[in-house]
Each structure stands twice: as structure tokens, then as C-alpha cells.
Amino acid sequence: MHTLEKSSKAPLPGLAAKKKQRTRILLAEAAAALFYERGYDATTIDDIAAAVEISPRTFYRYFPTKEDLVVAMGQTSLESFFAALEARPPAEPLTIAVQAAVDEALAPGWEDTDGVRSFMALIRDTSAFRARWVEEAFDNRYLLAAVIAGRTDGDPLGLRNLLIAGAITMAINTAVQSWADQDIEPRPAVYVQRALAELSMPLLAP
């Protein structure tokens, strides 16, 4: 029920028609550029479509709504994070695995601190984007819970696994957002690791 799927049924000739994937990326990039330049509200679907030279109607065959562009903008980060996490040895403690996955998959993309700040600023003051963004994060809890369930007991819908997944998701989001809001810390990765470290201790004193 998610974002990146090549096609639902037939393997789809594969070769030629992955121009689709390219167009999708072009759209997301063009949209991002326009949003940064003149803001979300001041950018119309027509503008975005024109930038990629497709009809406005076709835009909606790539993205269900304008807001969904924001998930495309964070798409690759998310995918590589999951890939990195699943590549970690199953015996490894979850804390370490998660922290390592952040370092491997997310931190490199955060080298461009100005880029991260711009993105977080865009999300911060574009209500529609922020809503869609956190909704996506909330939904991803289920994906993450499934991965976690794969390394411990087997219930991806168990309350504890959902809580762990939720806490990790929330911690990463909070740390990055907090870092972007205050201009203090060196780089987001440090802040995120600190947040994850907190999860190894009880959040509420017993």
C-alpha cells in the first residue's frame, strides 16, 4: 500500500517503459526547485507540469495529489534506510543496528546541512506538507515494526513492536526537526544519534 512500485500486474516490458520512473523523478525535482524558489502555494500543478513538458492531467498519473510530492522528495532516503537496516546482522542489538543504518544511509545525505535546513523549513511552514510528511512517518511505523519483528519475536502488529518502531521514527523526526529549528548543533546526524541513545534508557522514570 505504498509509494514505490513498478507496476501492479505484468512485469511491464521493463526496459523501455522505465522512462516512467525517470519522469517521476524529474517531476519531483522540478517541483522541489519551484517550491524552494517561490513557495508551495505559489506553485501550481500547471507550473510543475510545464517544467517537465507534460500535460497537467498526466501529472496526476504520477502523483495522486500535490502533497504527495513531499514523500517523493524523501523517498530515496527512506528506502536506503530500510535497506541498510535489513542488511545488518540479525544477531546485532537493535539499537546498534538502527544507529548503524542511520550512519550508513541517512547521514551521508545530511552532509549538505543547508539542504536539510531548507527542506525542514519548507516542511515547517507548509502545513499541507507537514501533515503529509508526518502521516507518512506514522504509516512507516508498520513497515519498521515488521522489520523489527523479523529480528526478535514474530508479531509485526504486536503493541511492543509498534511502540518501538514508533519511538524510533519519532526520535529521528524530532531530532532532525529540533536541529533545524535551533541553529546550534554541528550536524543532524549527531543529534539523531543522541536521540536514539535516549531510547536505550527508560523515557519515563519508573
Partner DNA sequence: CCGCTGGTGACAGTTACTGTCATATGGCAT
Partner DNA sequence: ATGCCATATGACAGTAACTGTCACCAGCGG
Q: Summarize as ranges the residues that interact with DNA (CB under 7 A).
A: 7, 9-10, 12-13, 15-17, 19-20, 23, 43-46, 53-58, 60-62, 64-67
Q: Select from a copy of itself, DNA, none the partner in contact with residue 20, using the beta carbon and a kind-dependent cut-off of 5 to 8 Å.
A: DNA
Q: Are 123 and 129 in contact (CB under 8 A)?
A: yes
Least separation, in Å, of the C-beta of 165 and a copy of itself? 9
Q: Select from DNA, a copy of itself, none the partner in contact with residue 23, using the beta carbon and a kind-dependent cut-off of 5 to 8 Å.
A: DNA
Q: Select from a copy of itself, DNA, none the partner in contact with residue 18, using the beta carbon and a kind-dependent cut-off of 5 to 8 Å.
A: none
Q: Which is closer to a copy of itself, CB of 77 or CB of 178? A: 178
Q: Select from DNA, a copy of itself, none the partner in contact with residue 191, using the beta carbon and a kind-dependent cut-off of 5 to 8 Å.
A: a copy of itself
Interface contacts to a copy of itself, rule CB under 8 A: 67, 93-95, 98, 127, 130-132, 134-135, 137-138, 141, 157, 159-160, 162-164, 166-168, 170-171, 173-175, 178, 181-182, 191, 194-196, 198-206
Least separation, in Å, of the C-beta of 122 and DNA? 15
Q: Which is closer to a copy of itself, CB of 10 or CB of 204? A: 204
Least separation, in Å, of the C-beta of 122 and a copy of itself? 15
Q: Are 81 and 101 in contact (CB under 8 A)?
A: yes
Least separation, in Å, of the C-beta of 117 and DNA? 25
Whole-angstrom Cα distance, residue 187 to residue 9? 43
Cell of 125: 511552514
